[in-house]
Amino acid sequence: MDWASVINNPFLKDLPFKIELDKWGKILMSPANNNHGSLQFETGAKIRDAKKGKGKVITECSIQTSQGVKVADVAWGSDSFIEKFRFETPYKRAPEICVEVVSPSNSQGEIDEKIELYLSKGAHEVWIVSENGKTRYYTYEGEIEESDEISA
């Protein structure tokens, strides 16, 4: 199955799950959670405010990776990223910031894999937001104390 088939399937459009594809085109689903949704919004607002309206915050941002289509809970693309890629779905390159909000169903291996996949697709930073709202920041060099993208 490809991503266009997933997003255009009338049976999948109203499911209360986050949907991704693995590298074999199989559907992966994670159940929705109100705390998760709140953390997505708050993180997106934090990025938007820090960037002073430059670029775009995208929730549920689909990115084609070597392991299938992964969906970052929140992403931020610069004006130049948006100008170049618009809102193609899924993105073939990751926006500059990709954020995963950890769900109870996520394993550490799954989170580590997403960090690696988003960075390998061009993200400058990957943020991991825990269920209690604490954020950890990652670049190619590993974990960093604070976001370089927000201070940039």
Q: Domain-by-domain residue ranges, the chain? A: 33-151
CA atoms within 13 A on the CB side of 76: 25
What confidence tens digit (pLDDT) does each residue in 68-110 have? 999 999 999 999 999 999 999 999 999 999 999 998 888 899 9
Residue of 5 and 58 predicted with greater confidence: 58
- How would you list the strands of the sheet with 97-101, edge to edge? 56-65, 68-77, 97-101, 125-129, 135-139, 142-144
What confidence tens digit (pLDDT) does each residue in 25-74 have? 887 767 768 898 999 999 999 999 999 989 999 999 999 999 999 999 99
| pTM across the whole model | 0.86
Q: What pLDDT, on the 0 to 100 scale, is given for residue 45?
A: 96
* Annotation: CATH topology of 33-151: tt1808, chain A (3.90.1570)
What confidence tens digit (pLDDT) does each residue in 134-151 have? 999 999 999 999 999 987
C-alpha angle with apex 26: 91 to 36, nearest 5 degrees? 65
Question: What is the 3-state composition of the chain as percent helix, strand, coil, each rounded to the nearest 5?
Answer: 30, 30, 35
d(C-alpha 137, C-alpha 55), whole Å: 20
Q: What pLDDT, on the 0 to 100 scale, is given for residue 23?
A: 81
Tokens of 50: 């820090």
